[in-house]
């Protein structure tokens, strides 16, 4: 009986070894692919144009904004919508303040990216900017991020009569 048990054990070990090593015996290791070759090249440089500015002037001809209307009370801020003239003044004043903080990202200049971003500024009662979101993207994340950073850098707006303001930001290479 012990010889049958030893024979069964040896046969079982042999069958298990064959089953476990079947994949290794049947399939050879796949061939090693050749290493990928990559090279870097510098972007083509456009000839410098020293007589033309990089940013398009989106403000009026007068760089000093008109005197803003007096600060609104709490009741006015939550009241009816503001007139078109006041809204236009808010946008012009916000664009003027934003232009002090806005920069055209060098990577976007090198790639020749242009576009218009429309930002939605959410304002607190004291005029501080609590949130900036993208209402309409330029189609280029680098331009969108630059506009959002500049809007946060503005800090606060003292002339706003509403809790939200849509601010267009134009990036144009000239």
Question: What percentage of the chain exceeds 90 in pLDDT?
Answer: 14
Residue 63 lies in a domain: no
In this structure, is residue 4 part of a structural domain? no
- Among candidate residues 143, 13, 161, 125, the one with its CA nearest the CA of residue 134: 143
Does 45 fall in a domain? no
Q: Is residue 131 part of a domain?
A: yes
- What's residue 143's pLDDT? 92
Q: How many domains does the chain have?
A: 1
Q: Domain of 109: which CATH number?
A: 3.30.1150.10
Per-position pLDDT tens, the chain of length 174: 678 888 899 999 999 888 887 766 666 667 788 887 777 777 776 655 555 555 555 555 554 554 555 554 444 444 455 567 777 777 777 778 888 888 888 898 889 889 999 999 888 888 788 899 999 998 999 999 999 999 888 887 776 566 888 888 888 887
On whether the CB atoms of residues 134 and 150 are closer than 8 A, the answer is no
98-108, pLDDT tens digit by residue?
888 888 888 98
Range(s) of the domain holding residue 95: 82-171
Backbone angles phi, psi at 139, to 5 degrees: 95, -5
């Amino acid at each position: 009986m012990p010889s049958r048990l030893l024979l069964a054990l040896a046969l079982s070990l042999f069958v298990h070894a064959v089953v476990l090593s079947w994949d290794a015996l049947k399939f050879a290791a796949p061939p090693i692919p050749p290493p990928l070759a990559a090279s870097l090249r510098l972007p083509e440089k456009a000839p410098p144009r020293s007589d033309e500015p990089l940013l398009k002037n989106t403000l009026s001809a007068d760089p000093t904004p008109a005197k803003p209307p007096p600060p609104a009370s709490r009741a006015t801020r939550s009241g009816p919508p503001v007139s078109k003239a006041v809204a236009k003044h808010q946008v012009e004043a916000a664009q003027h303040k934003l232009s002090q903080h806005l920069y055209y990202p060098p990577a976007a200049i090198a790639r020749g990216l242009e576009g218009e971003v429309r930002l939605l500024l959410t304002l607190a009662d004291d005029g501080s900017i609590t949130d900036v979101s993208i209402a309409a993207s330029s189609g280029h994340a680098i331009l969108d991020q630059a506009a959002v950073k500049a809007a946060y850098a503005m800090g606060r707006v003292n002339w706003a009569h509403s809790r939200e303001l849509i601010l267009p930001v134009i990036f144009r290479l000239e």
